[in-house]
């Protein structure tokens, strides 16, 4: 009798997984309904492919100096012309995508990783919240670009320093967002039930708290990525970013601003790519927000 009842028990796990997969599939379908999102994804794929395939895209050494051909226009040998030091602009733009995307991804990892940990602790513990949030409020009172310039000036201009300098101003924003999510769900019945059953804190965080922060962090990460690329360009344009010998879109624009009237392409091409990349990421972030937020989905 027990064997028969066991065999007729409905497969709860299979049904749950099927519902979850159907929900994820519907979210993906809703993302690609609008043409702006499709175009933004195509732009991002193009930029990523350009960065990954840089060595095979008919590029040359982006730091090779050839003063004999300085400030030349587009030609068969130099597709986008040369800069003031005779370096190939096309190669520097292509390889600059690697640095700019590295900055964006690195800042997202650092700021989201630290902000998530601190935000969970602040949202779950009132004692930690009282101390941490006062520090976060103080950090947010300082303009992000000014704080980044100060950190770079103190530590020196390297890629690692720039990553940290751009990440620090974004950490308080992530902390405040995660904290608000945790404080909203820690009084839910299922969290109180888990606490009353003696669930350990690591298990509580992994099973109940982290899953609720995934959607807002995903959306926030897209905005941080776009902001990081813009901030790196601003810092490089002001001379406080990545060292000039490393090709990045910000460095290319900083080098080309003096020679804009003679060779506008030096600043035009990397500026166009920065604009398209930031626009594509922001459109994707808006689409993710609308798809993951039920209230926004009802409005649409």
CA angle 251, 249, 264 (to 5 degrees): 80
Question: Which structural domains are found in the chain, ordered by start?
Answer: 48-67+82-299 (1.10.3720.10)
Element (H, E) at 239: none
DSSP code at position 55: G
Query: What pLDDT does residue 300 have?
Result: 44
Q: Is a pLDDT exceeding 70 seen at residue 165?
A: yes
Query: What pLDDT does residue 28 have?
Result: 57
Hey, what are 92's tokens?
């520097």
Query: What pLDDT does residue 27 have?
Result: 57
pLDDT band at 297 (very low <50, low <70, confident <90, very high): very low
Q: In Å, how far from its chain's centre is CA 188?
A: 31
**What average pLDDT does this structure show over 4-27?**
44
pLDDT, one tens digit per residue, over 207-250 is 767 777 888 888 889 999 999 999 988 888 887 888 888 888 88
Contact 82, 72 (CB under 8 A): yes
For 28, 233, 289, the CA distances from 105, given in Å and listed in that order, are 22, 15, 19
pLDDT, one tens digit per residue, over 24-51 is 456 556 666 677 778 888 989 999 999 9
CB-CB neighbours of 258 under 10 Å: 11
């Amino acid at each position: 009798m027990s064997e028969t009842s066991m065999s007729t028990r409905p497969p709860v796990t299979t049904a749950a997984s099927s519902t979850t997969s159907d929900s994820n599939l519907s979210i993906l379908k809703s993302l690609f309904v609008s043409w702006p999102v499709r175009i933004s994804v195509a732009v991002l794929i193009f930029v990523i492919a350009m960065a990954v395939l840089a060595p095979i895209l008919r590029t040359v050494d982006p730091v090779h100096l050839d003063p004999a051909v300085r400030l030349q226009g587009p030609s068969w040998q130099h597709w986008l012309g040369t800069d003031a030091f005779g370096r190939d602009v096309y190669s520097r733009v292509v390889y600059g995508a690697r640095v700019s995307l590295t900055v964006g991804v690195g800042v997202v990892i650092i700021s989201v990783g630290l902000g998530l940990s601190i935000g969970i602790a602040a949202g779950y513990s009132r004692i930690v919240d009282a101390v941490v949030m006062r520090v976060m409020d103080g950090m947010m009172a300082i303009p992000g670009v000014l704080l980044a310039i100060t950190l770079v000036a103190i530590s020196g201009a390297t890629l690692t320093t720039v990553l940290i300098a751009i990440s620090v101003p974004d950490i308080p924003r992530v902390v405040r967002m995660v904290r608000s999510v945790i404080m909203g769900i820690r009084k839910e019945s299922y969290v109180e039930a888990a606490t009353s059953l003696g669930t350990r804190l690591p298990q509580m965080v992994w099973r109940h708290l982290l899953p609720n922060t995934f959607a807002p962090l995903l959306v926030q990460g897209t905005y941080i990525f776009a902001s990081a690329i813009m901030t790196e360009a601003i810092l490089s344009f002001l001379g406080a970013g990545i060292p000039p010998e490393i090709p990045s879109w910000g460095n290319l624009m900083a080098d080309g601003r003096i020679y804009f009237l003679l060779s506008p392409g030096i600043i035009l091409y990397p500026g166009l790519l920065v604009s398209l990349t930031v626009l594509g990421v922001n459109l994707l972030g808006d689409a993710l927000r609308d798809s993951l937020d039920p209230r926004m989905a009802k409005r649409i």
